[in-house]
Amino acid sequence: MVVDACCVTPPLLREPLTEFAAVEMAKKLKALADPVRLRLFSAIASHSGGEACVCDISGGIDVSQPTVSHHLKVLRAAGLLTSERRASWVYYAVVPEALREIAALLDLNTAALAGVTA
Amino acid sequence: MVVDACCVTPPLLREPLTEFAAVEMAKKLKALADPVRLRLFSAIASHSGGEACVCDISGGIDVSQPTVSHHLKVLRAAGLLTSERRASWVYYAVVPEALREIAALLDLNTAALAGVTA
């Protein structure tokens, strides 16, 4: 059973984050908070089926292959990507639950935001 | 005129992020990617009216006053908070557009995600 992330961590606009939730969320945000990692992640996320091998994604990003591998490892360690070897290529896929958790935290459809923007 | 952030930076699931968009987004994510900053930001965002003075928010977070001030400065520099002095207190308010920009980037209501979760 998948637990809906919105019900585990309430949006940060609704109530103050707990220390535990903040530590967990900071790990994911830190992994995403790098321009090259954001671009690699986006290249995988927007690729057909939400998965891609390095051969598919590194073309438009001007960094070395070891650098790409390092960044993909960081994203995987943060639980944002999974990887699977098929023949001679490793395929990376986004973890939708991880993205949902961040998006739920930043959910702007709350009464609190109505107060902010009124 | 406020430009809707959703129309400037498409969700990263829909198409690969440009280098410029990735650099800008990484700055905001990096500012949020710290447990204490996340908790301070959440305390302000969830406070009545989306604004608070340091006296309102630092109670539940066990760090020194200079540390709180440093973290608030980082959040302000990243465009996530504004500040305004009133009498002897500085009031901080969330910048809804900045949060919207991040949330729009992570928007999961896209055809791409349908592909991921199918």
Q: What is the mean pLDDT of residues B46-68?
A: 84
pLDDT on residue B110: 41
A6 vs A9, more confident: A9
- Round the average pLDDT of chain B to a whole number and report it: 80
Backbone angles phi, psi at A19, to 5 degrees: -60, -45
H or E element: which one contains A105? helix A96-105
Q: Which of A55, A56, A100, A51 is nearest to A76 (CA)?
A: A51
pLDDT on residue A76: 96
Is B30–A33 a contact, with Cβ atoms under 8 angstroms apart?
Answer: yes
Collect all residues from A whose CB is shorter than 8 A from any CB in B: 12-17, 19, 22-23, 25-26, 29-30, 32-36, 38-39, 41-43, 45-46, 48-51, 60, 93-94, 96, 99-100, 102-103, 106-108, 112-113, 115-117
Record the pTM.
0.80
Question: In chain B, how long is the greatest CA-to-CA distance?
Answer: 56
> Could you tell me the two tokens for B84?
């305004």
CATH topology of domain B19-107: Arc Repressor Mutant, subunit A (1.10.10)
Domain ranges for chain A: 19-107
A51 interaction partners in chain B (CB closer than 8 Å):
116
* Residue burial B2-41, b: 16+ Cβ < 10 Å; e: rest: eeebeeebbbbbbebbeeebbebbbebbbbbbbbbbbbbb
Residue A22 CA to residue B116 CA, distance in Å, equals: 27
